[in-house]
Amino acid sequence: MSEAAHPAEALVRAVRAAGVRDERLLGAVRAMPRAAFVPTGHRADAHRDIPLPIGHGQVTTQPSLSAMMIDGLALSGDEHVLEIGTGLGFQTALLAALAADVVTVELRPDLAEQARRNLAGQGLRNVELRIGDGSGGVPERAPYDAVVVSAAFPEVPAPLVAQLRPGGRLVQPVGPGGREQVVSFLRTARGLEPRRMLTPACFVRLRGRYGFDS
């Protein structure tokens, strides 16, 4: 089928080029309209594999980077997932398509409300969106099978480790903010163990009680 018939095919190619081979994830990228999750003035660029501005000096995560992070969670379809950093909800939507349910936390109320509308517009009903400090997770909804953190900190915050079930996976950019290594971890009997460096990246800092001071 032509790219004109499937405008998301350029994103699918970019995700494949980043090393993602999970057909469920590739299908989610193809099916989820990124244009519904970016500001109106940037919708013409929605099918380009680039970050797009969302205000507050922030940008969306590049789609291929989001896909690599989700791929690091190795989702099979029945997971209870925690996402820290909702943004405008595109990564959240991909997670919702691949897992049983998603709890997502966004620090900025205006972004959270936009994300809520975006997710509702796609009929996604397996997402619980919270507004607030995500660095401490959402303990009342733990334990989680998988956790993804879309902001940088030099270590994984202890509450997020505690809320991850044994055998669960966590992906986080590890670094000071602006120059990170995105790492996948596994919760074992010995604690949280790094398994693989997924990619270098640049992320905003994780803000909150267990992150950088606001």
CATH number of the domain encompassing residue 187: 3.40.50.150
Mean pLDDT taken over the chain: 95
Asked whether the predicted pLDDT for residue 214 surpasses 80, the reply is no
Asked whether the predicted pLDDT for residue 177 surpasses 90, the reply is no
Asked whether the predicted pLDDT for residue 18 surpasses 80, the reply is yes
Which residue range is the domain that position 21 belongs to? 9-201
The neighbour count for residue 56, using CB atoms within 10 Å, is 11
Burial of 76 (0-12, 13-18, 19+ CB in 10 A): exposed
Global confidence as pTM: 0.95
Asked whether the predicted pLDDT for residue 2 surpasses 60, the reply is no
pLDDT digits (tens, 9 = 90+) for 127-150: 999 999 999 999 999 999 999 999
Q: Is 49 part of any domain?
A: yes
Asked whether the predicted pLDDT for residue 5 surpasses 60, the reply is no
* Contact yes or no for 170/184 (Cβ under 8 A): yes
Q: Is 206 part of any domain?
A: no
pLDDT at residue 43 in the model: 93
Q: Is 100 part of any domain?
A: yes
- Percentage of residues in the chain with pLDDT exceeding 90? 92
Residue with tokens 């922030």: 58
Q: Is 213 part of any domain?
A: no
Comparing 20-29, 55-64, 119-128, 140-149, the range with the smallest average pLDDT is 55-64
* Contact yes or no for 96/117 (Cβ under 8 A): no
pLDDT digits (tens, 9 = 90+) for 61-91: 999 999 999 999 999 999 999 999 999 999 9
Q: Is 178 part of any domain?
A: yes
Q: Is 1 part of any domain?
A: no
Q: Is 211 part of any domain?
A: no
Q: In the structure encoding, which two tokens stand for residue 201, read together?
A: 């990246």
Q: Is 2 part of any domain?
A: no
**DSSP structural state of residue 152:** B
Q: How many separate domains does the chain show?
A: 1
